[in-house]
């Protein structure tokens, strides 16, 4: 039995969105999208609003990443949509199922010069899986359902629809969409068998698992495959925490030793991009396991590249019937390297320096973070350190901007994380430069009672640019910020609270106050501008 729905365009859209599991919208007001607000308001569908559209899209992306369901941003016509484009592009690079619904000038007088009359599609098409204008209210549920099916189908990604004014304001009727019905794509069994034989027969195999393992709900299968074949596992992106740090096959620090000695590198659910030296691991053979054929790399020729449902592929790996080489010595060798690197890190994380070095901030943070805390990185060097010193204990708790590397995700990701996990610690690690992109959205967080902790590594510079520029030219320009600026006072003025910390011994108590505050709280840590992240050791 199909159900029919009636109402204005906003109501029809919302009915379809609910059927697909969308549970809130992130937005910044504009008259072109009022019917969507009207529909939400009348049915208690949560609306979170922001001070810049980029934050709405980043918040929607955080929901999509953390909850593995569609996230929704509603943006008004013209500048609302264009301000959201960096967010859409980040979602595209991250394969996040984000839907952006845009307002649009009226179609019936298109070309006459209506306010904000522009065609968004050519702008968003290259950074979405699907972009479409829906010209009638009756057609909105179908279009929403089709767009969300596309967004959720691996390889996932953002989609865009816009509704001309008269379409979204007029009344129509349609069939209620049934909701997502996705059938997993089965990988070619011969390719899977080839991959399994390569891993099982390798002397020194390594797994690198990325975001799609989490998004594709294949974390258990990853662990089973790694355990069955005794393969050490490194992770990146949303894959971090897929194996808990105490797992005997979980590695983070021994990456250089592992990759320079491996004979087979198995990269799962992440592209062979700059983070993974473009898939060039010297003599090692590469097995690239991806969730869709479109994700096979064009620039390298892997020894095997199964494409399809990651759960199925990893289960087949775990159940590989052939011979298995013993990898115990290899694992032990890496464990020695890992332990040595951890001991060095521990020293740095405890160092009593003046000014404070970023490592110490992470040392203190590790003492107060719960295992399920969500940590968010938005910045340059300060966030590279976060990647190095923080060890997510669970998957789905670490949000970095991904390979697009867009500064400004901070407050939007924080909003999405707080909405997703009302009772967990949410902590943003932010460069002082990065803070400039989104700190105004502390107002949105404070007003809507969404407390988060923000730790700013305040070195007074665009560190990740200043140090390399000096190294390259012997001087730098456009790389300085105001030293010791009081970002905590900004947050105080916006309805939150905070403090400045200049001494390492004050970090611990400040963090306690921050997590107890119940409002957005910024700890402005004055860090050493001379400290530069050692890039050459940053392999991923
Ligand atoms: C939107 C955007 N603009 C510019 C850059 C280039 N960029 C990358 S890191 C960085 C410096 C970040 O400085 P800060 O946030 O203060 O962190 P720090 O490196 O000082 O720790 C810049 C400007 C970028 N990645 N994204
Ligand atoms: Mg800085």
Ligand 1 within 6 A of CB of 407: yes
Ligand 1 within 6 A of CB of 405: yes
pLDDT digits (tens, 9 = 90+) for 418-471: 999 999 999 999 999 999 999 999 999 999 999 999 999 999 999 999 999 999
Q: Are residues 281 and 380 in the same domain?
A: no
pLDDT digits (tens, 9 = 90+) for 378-395: 999 999 999 999 999 999
What count of other Cβ atoms lies within 10 Å of the Cβ of residue 495?
A: 15
Q: Where would I find the beta strands (DSSP E) of 45-147?
A: 47-49, 71-75, 98-104, 130-133
Dihedral pair phi/psi, residue 484, rounded to 5°? 55, 30
Predicted confidence at residue 539, as pLDDT, reads 35
**What range defines the domain where residue 292 resides?**
189-334
Q: Are residues 314 and 367 in the same domain?
A: no
Residue 182 falls inside a structural domain: no
Q: Which is nearest to 461 in space by CA: 440, 441, 476?
A: 476
pLDDT digits (tens, 9 = 90+) for 475-515: 999 999 999 999 999 999 999 999 999 999 999 999 999 99
Predicted confidence at residue 324, as pLDDT, reads 87
Whole-Å CA distances, 511 to 207, 353, 507, 521, 527: 35, 18, 6, 9, 16
Higher pLDDT, 529 or 538: 529
Q: Are residues 231 and 136 in the same domain?
A: no
Predicted confidence at residue 323, as pLDDT, reads 85
Whole-Å CA distances, 426 to 50, 258, 369, 497: 18, 32, 9, 16
Residue 540 falls inside a structural domain: no
CA of 438 to the centre of ligand 2 (A): 15
pLDDT digits (tens, 9 = 90+) for 105-143: 999 999 999 999 999 999 999 999 999 999 999 999 999
402 alpha carbon, closest ligand? 1
Which of 430, 435, 462 is the pocket-test mutation for ligand 1 (most atoms within 8 Å of CB)?
Answer: 462
371-378: average pLDDT? 98
- Local structure of 164: helix, strand or coil: strand
Name the CA dihedral angle for 124, 125, 130, 136, rounded to a multiple of 10 degrees: 70
Ligand 1 within 6 A of CB of 461: yes
Predicted confidence at residue 466, as pLDDT, reads 97
Can you tell me which atom of ligand 1 is nearest the CA of 435?
15
What count of other Cβ atoms lies within 10 Å of the Cβ of residue 284?
A: 21
* Residue with CA closest to ligand 1 atom 13: 462
405 alpha carbon, closest ligand? 1
CB 361 within 8 A of CB 508: no
380 alpha carbon, closest ligand? 1
CA of 11 to the centre of ligand 1 (A): 41
Predicted confidence at residue 40, as pLDDT, reads 98
- CATH number for position 319: 3.40.50.1220
Whole-Å CA distances, 376 to 86, 407, 415, 449, 486: 18, 12, 11, 19, 21
Q: Are residues 39 and 161 in the same domain?
A: yes
* Residue with CA closest to ligand 1 atom 8: 380
* Residue with CA closest to ligand 1 atom 20: 463
Average pLDDT, whole number, for the chain?
Answer: 97
DSSP state of 17: H
Predicted confidence at residue 540, as pLDDT, reads 33
215-234: average pLDDT? 97
Largest CA distance in the chain: 74
pLDDT at 211 over 60: yes
Q: Are residues 17 and 148 in the same domain?
A: yes
pLDDT at 532 over 80: yes
Bond into 183 cis (ω within 30):
no
Q: Are residues 143 and 194 in the same domain?
A: no
Can you tell me which atom of ligand 1 is nearest the CA of 462?
13
Residue 539 falls inside a structural domain: no
pLDDT at 155 over 90: yes
Matching residue, tokens 């080839």? 194
Q: Which is nearest to 33 in space by CA: 169, 215, 210?
A: 169
Residue 535 falls inside a structural domain: no
Predicted confidence at residue 122, as pLDDT, reads 98
| Residue 172, H or E segment | strand 171-175
Which of 464, 477, 478 is the pocket-test mutation for ligand 1 (most atoms within 8 Å of CB)?
Answer: 464
Separation CA 13–CA 20 (nearest Å): 11
Residue 443 falls inside a structural domain: yes
Ligand 1 within 6 A of CB of 401: no
Ligand 1 within 6 A of CB of 460: no
Which of 433, 459, 461, 524 is the pocket-test mutation for ligand 1 (most atoms within 8 Å of CB)?
Answer: 433
- CATH number for position 360: 3.40.50.970
Separation CA 349–CA 365 (nearest Å): 10
Q: Are residues 365 and 500 in the same domain?
A: yes
Q: Are residues 238 and 355 in the same domain?
A: no
CA of 337 to the centre of ligand 1 (A): 31
Res. 2 pLDDT band, cuts 50 70 90: confident
Q: Are residues 439 and 393 in the same domain?
A: yes
Q: Are residues 412 and 462 in the same domain?
A: yes
Residue 183 falls inside a structural domain: no
Whole-Å CA distances, 15 to 153, 367, 404, 502: 21, 45, 33, 52
CA of 125 to the centre of ligand 2 (A): 34
Residue 184 falls inside a structural domain: no
Which structure tokens are listed for 312? Answer: 């199925």
* Residue with CA closest to ligand 1 atom 3: 407
- Taken in order 345, 351, 357, 360, the sign of the CA dihedral is positive
Residue 339 falls inside a structural domain: no
* Residue with CA closest to ligand 1 atom 9: 380
| β-pair partners for 28 | 75
- Local structure of 193: helix, strand or coil: helix
Q: Are residues 439 and 311 in the same domain?
A: no
Can you tell me which atom of ligand 1 is nearest the CA of 379?
15
Bond into 409 cis (ω within 30):
no
Predicted confidence at residue 537, as pLDDT, reads 40
Predicted confidence at residue 1, as pLDDT, reads 65
Can you tell me which atom of ligand 1 is nearest the CA of 358?
21
Q: Where would I find the beta strands (DSSP E) of 318-463?
A: 374-378, 398-399, 426-431, 453-458
The whole model's pTM is what? 0.97
Q: Which of 275, 306, 334 is the last residue of a domain?
A: 334
Ligand 1 within 6 A of CB of 459: yes
Q: Which is nearest to 218 in space by CA: 327, 149, 306?
A: 306
Q: Are residues 301 and 387 in the same domain?
A: no
Separation CA 93–CA 105 (nearest Å): 29
CA of 308 to the centre of ligand 1 (A): 35
Can you tell me which atom of ligand 1 is nearest the CA of 437?
1
Res. 248 pLDDT band, cuts 50 70 90: very high
Ligand 1 within 6 A of CB of 237: no
Count of domains in the chain? 3
SS3 letters for 399-415?
ECCCCCCCCCCHHHHHH
pLDDT digits (tens, 9 = 90+) for 297-334: 999 999 999 999 999 999 999 999 988 899 999 999 99
Can you tell me which atom of ligand 1 is nearest the CA of 464?
19
CB 80 within 8 A of CB 134: no
Whole-Å CA distances, 385 to 313, 409, 460: 33, 17, 17
CA of 435 to the centre of ligand 1 (A): 10
- Local structure of 271: helix, strand or coil: coil
Which of 465, 524, 527 is the pocket-test mutation for ligand 1 (most atoms within 8 Å of CB)?
Answer: 465
Predicted confidence at residue 526, as pLDDT, reads 98
Ligand 1 within 6 A of CB of 358: no
Res. 535 pLDDT band, cuts 50 70 90: confident
């Amino acid at each position: 039995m199909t159900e029919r729905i009636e109402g204005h365009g906003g109501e029809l859209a919302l009915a379809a969105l609910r059927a697909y599991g969308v549970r809130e919208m992130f937005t910044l007001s504009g008259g072109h999208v009022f019917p969507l607000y009207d529909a939400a308001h009348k049915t208690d569908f949560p609306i979170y609003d922001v001070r810049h559209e980029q934050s709405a899209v980043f918040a929607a992306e955080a929901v999509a990443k953390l909850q593995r369901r569609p996230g929704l941003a509603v943006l008004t016509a013209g500048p609302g949509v264009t301000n959201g484009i960096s967010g859409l592009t980040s979602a595209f690079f991250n394969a996040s199922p984000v839907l952006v619904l845009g307002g649009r000038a009226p179609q019936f007088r298109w070309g006459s010069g209506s306010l904000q009359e522009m065609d968004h599609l050519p702008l968003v098409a290259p950074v979405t899986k699907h972009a479409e204008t829906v010209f009638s209210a009756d057609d909105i549920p179908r279009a929403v359902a089709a767009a969300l099916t596309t967004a959720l189908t691996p390889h996932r990604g953002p989609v865009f629809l816009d509704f001309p004014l008269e379409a979204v304001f007029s009344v129509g009727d349609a069939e209620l969409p049934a909701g997502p019905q996705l059938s997993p794509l089965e990988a070619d069994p011969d390719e899977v068998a080839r991959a399994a034989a390569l891993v099982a027969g390798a002397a020194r195999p390594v797994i690198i698992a990325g975001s799609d393992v989490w998004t594709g709900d294949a974390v258990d299968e990853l662990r089973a495959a790694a355990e069955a074949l005794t393969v050490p596992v490194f992770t990146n992106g949303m894959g971090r925490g897929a194996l808990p740090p105490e797992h005997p096959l979980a590695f983070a620090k021994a990456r250089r030793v592992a990759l320079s000695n491996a004979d087979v590198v198995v990269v799962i659910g992440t592209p062979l991009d700059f983070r993974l030296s473009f898939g060039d691991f010297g003599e090692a053979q590469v097995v690239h396991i991806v969730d869709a054929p479109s994700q096979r790399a064009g620039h390298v020729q892997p020894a095997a590249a199964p494409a399809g449902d990651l759960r199925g592929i990893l289960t087949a790996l775990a159940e590989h019937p052939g011979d298995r080489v013993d990898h115990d010595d290899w694992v032990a060798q890496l464990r020695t390297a890992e332990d040595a690197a951890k001991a060095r890190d521990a020293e740095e994380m405890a160092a009593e320096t003046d000014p404070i070095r970023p490592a110490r901030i992470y040392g203190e943070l590790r003492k107060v973070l719960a295992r399920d805390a969500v940590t968010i990185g938005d910045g340059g060097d300060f966030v590279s350190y976060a990647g190095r010193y923080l060890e997510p204990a669970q998957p789905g708790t670490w949000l970095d901007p991904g390979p697009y590397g867009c500064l400004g995700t901070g407050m939007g990701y924080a909003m999405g994380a707080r909405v997703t996990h009302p009772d967990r610690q949410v902590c943003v690690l932010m460069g002082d430069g990065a803070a400039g992109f989104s700190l105004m959205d502390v107002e949105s967080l404070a007003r809507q009672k969404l407390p988060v902790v923000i730790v700013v590594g305040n070195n007074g510079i665009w560190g990740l640019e200043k140090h390399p520029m000096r190294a390259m030219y012997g001087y730098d320009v456009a790389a300085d910020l105001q030293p010791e600026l009081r970002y905590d006072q900004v947050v105080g003025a916006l309805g939150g609270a905070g403090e400045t910390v200049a001494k390492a011994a004050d970090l611990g108590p400040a963090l306690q106050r921050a997590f107890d505050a119940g409002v957005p709280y910024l700890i402005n840590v004055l860090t050493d501008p001379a400290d530069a992240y050692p890039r050459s050791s940053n392999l991923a």
